[in-house]
Amino acid sequence: MNRRKFIKYSSATAAFSAGFNLGKIPVWAKTLDLDHPDDNVLVIIQMFGGNDALNTVIPADNDLYYSKFRKTLNIPKSKALKLSNTNSYLNPALKNGKNDGMFGLFKNGNLAVIQGVGYPNPNLSHFRSTDIWLSGITPANDSERLESGWLGRYFDKVNEVSEHPDCMNIGSSSSLLFSTGTADVGISVENPNDFYERGKDLLSGEGFLTGSGAYVDERNFLLDLSIQSNKYSKVVKNAFDSGKNTTEYAKGKLSDELKLVSRLISGGLKTKVYLLSIDGFDTHAGQGTTDGKHAGLLSEISNAVSYFMADLKTQNLSKNVLGMTVSEFGRRPNQNDSNGTDHGAAGVMFMFGEDVNGKVYGKALDFNNLDKNKDFVYQYDYRSVYDEVLSKWLGSDGNTTNQILGKRFESIEGGILVKRSSILLSNEKPIQSLIYPNPTVDGRILLKTHLEPRETLTVNQVDSLGRKYAVFQNIQMGSGQTEIPVQLIGKPGTHILEVLKADKKETVRVIWL
């Protein structure tokens, strides 16, 4: 039977959906086909509902936060956790957990705090914006259908058969994240408590029928499903039985799920991507401050992540695990009349792991630079993070990454995974010059580039009308990595910087909001 037909059919046939429970957690395994030689694992935590970035990473040095926008719904500066020498502070709930929780990970250089993450023309519908984040596509209009996920498109490009499920959604339903657009490449799970036994018993020992027709197709489909179910139920169950946890986790759904992921990794499962979720972030009313609903959710994440990473470190497995959080949008700057916050635009992402350059990225959310809807203006496109994860963590070459995301996105402030290098094709040149912040809200940027000894630098700016302005002409600076402050000329819009060094020319796009 055609594998695509089998996969598509299996998703629609609830009676024969395959799955199992480990530790009372339903698991759904995506049977994607990639077998990297390394053991890198990506763990994605979806914070569904729209996390309030402003009360997660707090601009506690800005009086407008307290005096105008969050008069009662604020985190007192005396309780907020200052992030090194920046003017950003963490919610104190993020200190809960093992070794001071996520704040402890930051102090150890293993947590990146990425402020002002979003995309152009933000959609404030939960499901539409979730689809945008999971698809890695910013649609041209609201009617454009989003039918594939950025990871689904990536894994679908590799046709090698793996003995292990390459992606796993911890839960009871599939996700757009792993869809290829033509089929749901995996085994979806509704509520199966006996997957392992069913995998052994479904039409076991019988052969495929020859010929054609509806009965033959359906009969062969069921047998194929039985073989696939048996195959993946065994390998996951064996990993679960072989794996272990070395620490007691805090109570909570997310902790239980990460405890399971750690045990599967420990047991030798070669799954590349795990997707987990925690909901409750749609805090329109009764959001609370340091001890309310929102703080409780952040505390659950901090507990779960910190115990998870400590468990992996004890087993010498943490060096191969990268985690990140996503949420469909942030909340509005102003609190509402119900002591809550409404749907907003720019949000915050966390990335954690030993290969992360743990620091604060971007400026604190700026009350003086709001968009036409009086929402925060995003600083970084979320696909910049995806680009770096694909190219540095999952091993995607530049051409493949370009196909997955539609174009390449510059690394944020030189890169978050600084200990990793992108895989390049022989005909592909590395990006030498970077600009941040990009977009810029005030026209001020830093140009990061590399100069050879005695090499001169010329920088020209070209606006959307094609007008060229001389920024620097034949200046000579020290060799190596150099950061140069630039004030863009003209008016907001899309601009191109031409960077000329000896006989080399690069062009870098920058958006001035």
Cα 243 from Cα 62, distance rounded (Å): 48
Q: pTM to 2 decimals?
A: 0.77
**Of 414, 442, 460, which marks where a domain is finished?**
414
189 and 322 assigned to the same domain = yes
What percent of the chain is modeled with pLDDT above 70? 80
pLDDT in tens, 385-398: 999 999 999 988 88
pLDDT in tens, 183-234: 655 443 332 233 344 444 444 455 667 777 777 766 665 555 555 556 677 7
370 and 455 assigned to the same domain = no
CATH number at 470 reads 2.60.40.10
pLDDT for res 453: 77
**Of 383, 414, 445, which marks where a domain is finished?**
414
Strands 493-501 and 504-512: antiparallel
pLDDT in tens, 172-186: 677 899 888 876 554
Phi, psi for residue 25 in degrees, rounded to 5: -110, 120
Q: Give 344's Cβ-side CA count (13 Å radius).
A: 31
pLDDT for res 485: 87
User: Using the 8-state DSSP alphabet, how is residue 33 labeled?
Assistant: -
139 and 264 assigned to the same domain = yes
Categorize the per-residue pLDDT at 282 as very low, low, confident or very high, splitting at 50, 70 and 90: very high
350 and 497 assigned to the same domain = no
Calculate ∠ Cα 123-129-130, nearest 5°.
170
CATH number at 250 reads 3.40.720
Would you state the torsion angle of the CA atoms of residues 429, 432, 437, 441, taken in this order, to the nearest 10 degrees?
-80
Q: Return the structure tokens found at 383.
A: 């696909």
Q: What is the mean pLDDT of residues 27-47?
A: 66
pLDDT in tens, 411-462: 899 899 977 766 544 444 554 677 878 888 888 888 888 777 778 888 999 8
- Residue 211 belongs to a domain: yes
348 and 471 assigned to the same domain = no
Largest CA distance in the chain: 76
- Residue 245 belongs to a domain: yes
CB 440 within 8 A of CB 466: no
159 and 78 assigned to the same domain = yes
Cα 54 from Cα 323, distance rounded (Å): 22
Cα 469 from Cα 490, distance rounded (Å): 9
H or E element, residue 10: helix 3-12
CB 311 within 8 A of CB 262: yes
Categorize the per-residue pLDDT at 368 as very low, low, confident or very high, splitting at 50, 70 and 90: very high
Q: Is the pLDDT of residue 132 over 70?
A: yes
CB 292 within 8 A of CB 87: no
pLDDT for res 183: 63
pLDDT in tens, 224-275: 555 555 667 777 788 888 999 999 999 999 999 999 899 989 999 888 999 9
| Higher local confidence (pLDDT), 172 or 119 | 119
pLDDT for res 498: 87
DSSP characters over 104-143: HHHHTT-EEEEEEEE-SS----HHHHHHHHHHT---SSTT
Query: Which residue type sits at 365?
Result: L
- Residue 122 belongs to a domain: yes
Q: What is the mean pLDDT of residues 348-356?
A: 97
- Residue 427 belongs to a domain: no
Q: Is the pLDDT of residue 11 over 50?
A: no
pLDDT for res 223: 59
CB 131 within 8 A of CB 373: no
225 and 156 assigned to the same domain = yes
Is 475 strand, coil or helix? strand
275 and 380 assigned to the same domain = yes
Arithmetic mean of pLDDT over the chain: 83
Residues in contact with 468: Cβ distance below 8 Å, sequence separation at least 6, in sequence order = 460, 461, 462, 498
Cα 284 from Cα 346, distance rounded (Å): 17
pLDDT for res 366: 93
Could you write out the three-class secondary structure of 445-474?
Answer: EEEEEEECCCCEEEEEEECCCCCEEEEEEE
335 and 256 assigned to the same domain = yes
Cα 250 from Cα 120, distance rounded (Å): 38
235 and 374 assigned to the same domain = yes
pLDDT for res 71: 98
Q: Return the structure tokens found at 201.
A: 């018993």
pLDDT for res 359: 96
Please count the structural domains in the chain: 2
Give residue 498's domain range: 434-512
Cα 90 from Cα 103, distance rounded (Å): 8
CB atoms within 10 A of CB 59: 23
Computed over its alpha carbons, how large is the radius of gyration of the chain? Answer: 24
What percent of the chain is modeled with pLDDT above 90? 52
- Residue 151 belongs to a domain: yes
315 and 456 assigned to the same domain = no
- Residue 229 belongs to a domain: yes
Q: What is the mean pLDDT of residues 467-475?
A: 86
- Residue 429 belongs to a domain: no
Inter-helix orientation angle 253-266/293-314, to 10°: 20
Residues in contact with 272: Cβ distance below 8 Å, sequence separation at least 6, in sequence order = 32, 34, 36, 40, 41, 42, 155, 166, 167, 394
Is 55 strand, coil or helix? helix
125 and 97 assigned to the same domain = yes
**Of 414, 446, 469, which marks where a domain is finished?**
414
- Residue 447 belongs to a domain: yes
